[in-house]
């Protein structure tokens, strides 16, 4: 299993290397390296690479390290994903395993499948 720290220390992806502000700014609130937290991060990365490649930025906030950060986005459960940009702010609670629900929650149009 890959640790949360290792995933955060991974080389920057295409979104992080762009000179402009990404179109999609996402903040994932987790509580340590639990199975649900790790699954949420992996699922989010997969969805973003599939549907928002090169246009997103993910910030992971571990509430075990800094619990005060939960108040800013009114986080009541973890894992919780907050879409900061584009506005309006939207939230999704859970491990983000249901791709369709994540796309609807983020208001992302799925890429069309080739026939």
Predicted confidence at residue 19, as pLDDT, reads 52
Assigned CATH for 27-102: 3.40.30.10
Q: What is the mean pLDDT of the chain?
A: 84
The pTM of this model reads 0.77
* Spans of all domains in the chain: 27-102
Per-residue pLDDT for 91 more than 60?
yes
104 Rama class: left (phi>0) / alpha (psi -120 to 50) / beta: alpha
At 21 the pLDDT is 74
Q: What are phi and psi of 60, to 5 degrees?
A: -105, 130
């Amino acid at each position: 299993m890959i640790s949360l720290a290792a995933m955060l220390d991974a080389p920057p992806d295409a979104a992080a290397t762009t000179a402009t502000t990404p179109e999609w700014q996402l903040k994932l609130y987790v509580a340590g390296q639990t199975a649900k937290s790790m699954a949420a991060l992996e699922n989010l990365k997969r969805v973003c690479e599939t549907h928002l490649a090169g246009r997103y930025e993910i910030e992971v906030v571990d509430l075990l390290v800094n619990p005060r950060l939960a108040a800013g986005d009114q986080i009541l459960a973890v894992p919780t994903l907050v879409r900061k940009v584009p506005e309006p702010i939207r939230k999704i609670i859970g491990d983000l395993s249901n791709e369709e629900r994540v796309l609807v929650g983020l208001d992302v149009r799925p890429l069309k499948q080739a026939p």
